């Protein structure tokens, strides 16, 4: 029989009965949803947590108002424990417009941040780094708030899990990591998931406490979580708790779980957490048979009524499909740039100035990334900022792009403004899950904007080879919900970075490293801001329009000067931001010259140049006096040898040839 020990001994009768009612609610609700799904009466999917009620209620009950919970798809009951309503839950299951995701995602893939729960996404355990970022925000502001992130034992094998736990341990953040070990990662048993006796023993590798509890004992789960929460709240860092339990159903509604041996199932069902808690409550005189039946009947009736009500609520409309991709950015609060004054500076100097000024202006702005602290970053962009702002605003992180990006999401959701640095944008790939599934989708799906900047060096031309030279704007632009900025001069670098930091949306800011120190110009005096989504007219012309961005602006300018000597007048439009793209400026220039060349350093297939060419051809065909020409690299990787890299990168001669071809038509 279970017993009250430690923090669970402090629970009074009303709390104990409330926890019981939650467990019954979870059991009845998820059993009904499973039955409805199997009968074809529920769309989408179900991921029942039946059998895991003790861990979910015990862990979530240990948190207080203001704390944050990062759930997975099987944590529906934990969300209810945190205050999410049955109404919100069922509106989401039926894809209704008034539900938490407005019908944009279904079943348990939601969160209600106003009630302290983070958005659920399918990749696991994506809530770990986001919750870690929330805990970072709490520590930065000196708040006595705690985050708790949950997952299944299978998720502990992922790099995302490791990065989040490791970074939280290194920074001693106020977070608790919980694992519900329900014996199977879909169908994979524990002995094929890890070689440790328990997933909780992984804590030893991070230098944090690890606790293994009976996951079918709600009081033991609560006591362990409460102790860990208080430890975190008092500044003692993370704890890892593993609750050993069992899921009664399969991984999802369609899974009959035939891989579970009958005797194994029978042994676990004998340890069902609800009868065990009922026995405990009975010994306290808090529950008898009549009480159990009355509670179950009342909850069953409420569930039935909410399900019937939810099905009658309004569905989304087609007009809702493309809304909420971006939060509305405020009007620029700083003036546009004036004339340059003083000594010319490099692009690196301009970026550093922007970071410094924004950190000075707004204490919510902070930097994080690998080697950004005393070392000043791989390219010295953050040099001097650690000394000025300290280790909690210029944070050296482990090598952990998933945790850096996901942590930025969590901190942004808590009201901070993170500016994360990638040593090279080629290293963005481990962080794409967090960028695409969390940052880019949060407003659209979860109703909250994510004001964060992810910046770093990109581009070829420095003989850095295939792993330090990509231009990823085409890949990034493919995913809705991310703004993409590519400056081409020191002035635009500073003004656009200021705008990116002040924007309420996730922004990827690509700094072409060949431009870092190769160009200089005097910056305008004082603070200034350049709006995102506005192209820059580099030079006017009458015969051919060149649309380009980044380092290719300078290559195109050199080509235009040669062409001008031959009597060909070229107009150059620097896009500056790929998303949002200034289509009005592009169409206006093309309608003026009737000829278009698009120049990019990114490879051609499914690229920004492809999109510009396709849209102009479709919507301005009758304004054209010739075909659209794209000047791009070949569709290959970026080579190292000088002769090969020069052949890869578009050169002045390539642009001159393309323009002359059009001008002659």
Q: Catalytic residue numbers? A: 468
Q: Which residues contact 473 (CB under 8 A, 6 or more apart)?
A: 484, 486, 510, 549, 578, 602, 608
First to last CA, the chain: 89
Q: CA triplet 455, 457, 459: central angle to 5 degrees?
A: 130
Query: Cα(203)–Cα(193) distance, rounded to whole angstroms?
Result: 16
Query: Cα(596)–Cα(528) distance, rounded to whole angstroms?
Result: 32
Closest CA to 362 of 354, 352, 370: 354
Count CB neighbours of 295 within 10 A: 16
Query: Cα(499)–Cα(504) distance, rounded to whole angstroms?
Result: 10
Q: Alpha carbon of 25 to those of 62, 240, 600: distances in Å?
A: 18, 27, 57
Three-class SS of residue 418? strand
Strand order in the sheet with 483-485: 394-396, 365-369, 417-421, 452-458, 506-512, 483-485, 577-579
Q: Which residues contact 364 (CB under 8 A, 6 or more apart)?
A: 415, 416, 417
Helix residue ranges per DSSP H, 215-345: 218-233, 262-269, 273-283, 289-311
Pairing of strands 188-189, 184-185: antiparallel
Structure tokens that stand for 379 in this block: 């390219």
Residue reference for tokens 């709600």: 218
Instruction: Say if residues 50 and 76 touch (Cβ distance below 8 Å).
Output: no
Q: Is the peptide bond before 580 cis (omega within 30 degrees of 0)?
A: yes
Cα 277 off chain centre by: 38
Query: Cα(155)–Cα(374) distance, rounded to whole angstroms?
Result: 34
Query: Cα(658)–Cα(559) distance, rounded to whole angstroms?
Result: 10
What are the residues facing 340 on neighbouring strands? 524
């Amino acid at each position: 029989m279970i017993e009250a020990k430690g923090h669970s001994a402090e629970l009074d009768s009303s709390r104990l009965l409330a926890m019981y009612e939650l467990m019954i609610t979870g059991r009845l609700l998820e059993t009904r949803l499973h039955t409805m799904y199997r009968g074809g009466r529920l769309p989408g999917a179900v991921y029942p947590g039946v059998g895991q009620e003790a861990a979910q209620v015990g862990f979530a009950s240990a948190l207080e108002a203001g704390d944050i919970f990062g759930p997975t798809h099987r944590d529906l009951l934990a969300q209810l424990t945190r205050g999410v309503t049955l109404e919100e839950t069922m509106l989401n299951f039926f894809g209704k417009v008034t539900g938490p995701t407005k019908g944009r995602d279904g079943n348990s893939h939601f969160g209600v941040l106003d009630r302290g729960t983070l958005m659920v996404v399918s990749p696991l355990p994506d809530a770990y780094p986001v919750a870690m970022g929330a805990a970072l925000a709490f520590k930065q502001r000196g708040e006595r708030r705690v985050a708790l992130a949950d997952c299944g034992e299978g998720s502990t094998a992922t790099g995302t899990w490791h990065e989040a736990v490791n970074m939280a341990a290194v920074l001693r953040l106020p977070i608790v990591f919980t694992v519900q070990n329900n014996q199977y990662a879909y169908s994979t048993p524990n002995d094929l998931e890890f070689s440790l006796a328990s997933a909780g023993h992984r804590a030893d590798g991070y230098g944090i406490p690890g606790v293994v509890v009976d996951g079918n004992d709600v009081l033991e789960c609560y006591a362990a979580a409460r102790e860990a929460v208080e430890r975190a709240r008092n500044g003692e860092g993370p704890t890892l708790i593993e609750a050993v339990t069992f899921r009664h159903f399969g991984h999802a509604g369609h899974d009959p779980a035939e891989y579970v041996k009958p005797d194994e199932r029978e042994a676990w069902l004998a340890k069902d957490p609800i009868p065990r808690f009922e026995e405990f409550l009975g010994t306290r005189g808090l529950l008898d048979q009549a009480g159990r039946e009355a509670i179950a009947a009342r909850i069953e009736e409420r569930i039935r009524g909410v399900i019937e009500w939810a099905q009658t609520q309004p569905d989304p409309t087609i007009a809702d499909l493309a809304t909420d991709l971006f939060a509305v950015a405020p009007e620029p609060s700083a003036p546009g740039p004036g004339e340059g004054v003083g000594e010319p500076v490099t692009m690196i100097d301009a970026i550093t100035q922007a970071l410094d000024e924004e950190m000075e202006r707004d204490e919510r702005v902070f930097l994080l990334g690998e080697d950004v602290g005393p070392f000043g970053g791989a390219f010295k962009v953050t040099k001097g900022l650690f000394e000025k702002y300290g280790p909690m605003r210029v944070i050296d992180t482990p090598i952990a792009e998933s945790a850096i990006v996901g942590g930025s999401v969590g901190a942004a959701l808590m009201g901070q403004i993170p500016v994360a640095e990638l040593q090279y944008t080629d290293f963005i790939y481990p962080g794409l899950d967090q960028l695409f599934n969390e940052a880019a989708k949060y407003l659209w799906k979860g109703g909250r904007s994510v004001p964060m900047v992810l910046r770093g060096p990109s581009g070829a031309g420095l003989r850095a080879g295939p792993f330090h030279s990509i231009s990823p704007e085409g890949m990034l632009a493919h995913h809705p919900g991310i703004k993409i900025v590519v400056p081409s001069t020191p002035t635009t670098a500073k003004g656009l970075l200021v705008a990116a930091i002040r924007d309420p949306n996730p922004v990827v800011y690509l700094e072409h490293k060949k431009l870092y120190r190769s160009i200089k110009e005097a910056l305008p005096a004082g603070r200034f801001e350049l709006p995102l989504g506005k192209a820059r007219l580099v030079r006017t012309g009458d015969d051919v329009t060149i649309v380009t961005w980044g380092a290719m602006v300078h290559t195109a300018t050199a080509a235009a000067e040669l062409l001008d000597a031959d009597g060909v007048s070229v107009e150059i439009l620097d896009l500056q931001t790929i998303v949002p793209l200034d289509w009005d400026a592009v169409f206006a220039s093309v309608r003026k010259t009737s000829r278009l060349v698009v120049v990019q350093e990114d490879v051609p297939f499914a690229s920004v140049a492809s999109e510009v060419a396709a849209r102009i051809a479709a919507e301005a065909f009758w304004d054209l006096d010739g075909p659209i020409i794209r000047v791009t690299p070949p569709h290959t990787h970026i080579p190292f040898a000088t002769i090969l890299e020069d052949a890869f990168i578009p050169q002045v001669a390539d642009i001159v040839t393309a323009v002359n071809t059009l001008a002659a038509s």
